[in-house]
């Protein structure tokens, strides 16, 4: 119970403040759009840039962590697709969008603040390592499978352009990429620049959580409840269980093991809705899954934190 009160509830209270502020008309939806744009396009990329630039890659990189996490994510993507097809008889394009909901954990807006409150800022190297590959892997897999399923007959070059365009126009990927450049080249940022970045970074997670609450009010749970329940079960239970199994088999160090399991336990991020909206498929399932799984994760994340110790 102490974990629920001290670690999880403060994060979800900030989300709740954003939700209630928009619901009661105390904060305009246009304002939420602005806060979200600031968080996603500026503050969080600065956070990821600063974190990746400062990582000790030799000490923090662990192939077992990445293999276990992304093998679990890929399996959940396949389970979501096959489940949507076999159990609910959706067409294949809908199935890919639903599978993407099972694939894309909210690793930044939920994963980082909960992990920081649970284990401290010094323990976040595993989270940052997962996040560094998250958007490229998930968008690369999702877009590639969707383009194959749609059967446009486009060549490999055009498909590669579709994938790279979606990934490398993403501010989070740009921030991560620049962070790796600074890290690998050994460039030293001027102190005044680093201090300015730190000021922006301090606003990143609170602003993002508040904006997440304001965005969630737009997602109304409407129909498809069995499909949504499947997505929630795969995202909140199956993915972390798979990462636990793979991490144990690969002897991932304890701090990184916790980071992998906890990140896998996060609800689908609203990138799941962005992907569904991009193709115009499975939008209702994606929107409702983000809302309902985020609410359910208050309890499921508590359980995983208690299990992880």
Nearest alpha carbon to residue 128 among 142, 114, 140, 111: 111
Q: What is the mean pLDDT of residues 303-307?
A: 94
pLDDT tier, 222 (very low <50, low <70, confident <90, very high otherwise): low
Res 266: pLDDT: 96
32-40: average pLDDT: 87
Separation of alpha carbons 122 and 161, rounded Å: 38
| pLDDT the model gives residue 106 | 92
What 229-232 contacts at long range (C-beta under 8 Å, 24+ apart), as own/partner pairs, is 230/80, 230/83, 230/84, 230/87, 230/88, 231/80, 231/98, 231/101, 231/102, 231/268, 231/285, 231/289, 231/293, 232/267, 232/289, 232/292, 232/293, 232/296
CB crowding 118-132: b at 16 or more within 10 Å, else e = bbeeebbbbbbbbbb
pLDDT digits (tens, 9 = 90+) for 233-250: 999 999 999 999 999 999
Mean of pLDDT values over 252-269: 94
Amino acid 160: pLDDT = 66
CB 102 within 8 A of CB 236: no
pLDDT in tens, 175-187: 888 998 998 898 8
Q: What percent of the chain has pLDDT over 90?
A: 50
């Amino acid at each position: 119970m102490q974990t629920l009160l001290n670690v999880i509830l403060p994060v979800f209270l900030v989300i709740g403040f954003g939700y209630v502020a928009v619901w009661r008309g105390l904060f305009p939806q246009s304002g939420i759009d602005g806060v979200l744009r600031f968080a996603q396009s500026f503050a969080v990329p600065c956070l990821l840039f600063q974190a990746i630039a400062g990582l000790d890659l030799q000490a923090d990189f662990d192939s077992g962590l990445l293999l276990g996490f992304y093998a679990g994510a890929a399996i959940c993507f396949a389970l979501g697709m096959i489940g949507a097809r076999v159990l609910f008889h959706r067409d294949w394009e809908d199935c890919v969008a639903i599978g993407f909901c099972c694939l894309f954990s909210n690793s930044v807006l939920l994963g980082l603040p909960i992990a920081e409150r649970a284990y401290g800022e010094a323990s976040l190297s595993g989270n940052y390592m997962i996040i560094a590959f998250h958007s490229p892997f998930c968008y690369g897999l999702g877009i590639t499978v969707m383009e194959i399923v749609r059967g446009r007959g486009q060549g490999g070059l055009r498909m590669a352009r579709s994938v790279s365009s979606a990934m490398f126009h993403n501010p989070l990927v740009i921030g991560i990429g620049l962070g790796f450049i600074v890290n690998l080249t050994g460039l030293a940022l001027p102190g005044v620049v680093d201090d300015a970045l730190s000021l922006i970074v301090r606003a990143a997670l609170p602003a993002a959580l508040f904006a997440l609450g304001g965005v969630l009010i737009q997602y109304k749970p409407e129909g498809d409840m069995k499909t949504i329940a499947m997505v929630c079960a795969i995202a909140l239970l199956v993915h972390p269980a798979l990462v636990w199994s793979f991490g144990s088999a690969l002897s991932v160090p304890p701090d990184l093991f916790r980071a992998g399991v906890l990140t896998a336990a996060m609800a689908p991020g609203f990138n799941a809705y962005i992907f569904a909206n991009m193709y115009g498929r499975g939008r209702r399932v994606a929107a409702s899954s983000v809302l309902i799984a985020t609410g359910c994760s208050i309890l499921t994340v508590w359980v995983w934190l208690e299990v992880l110790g």
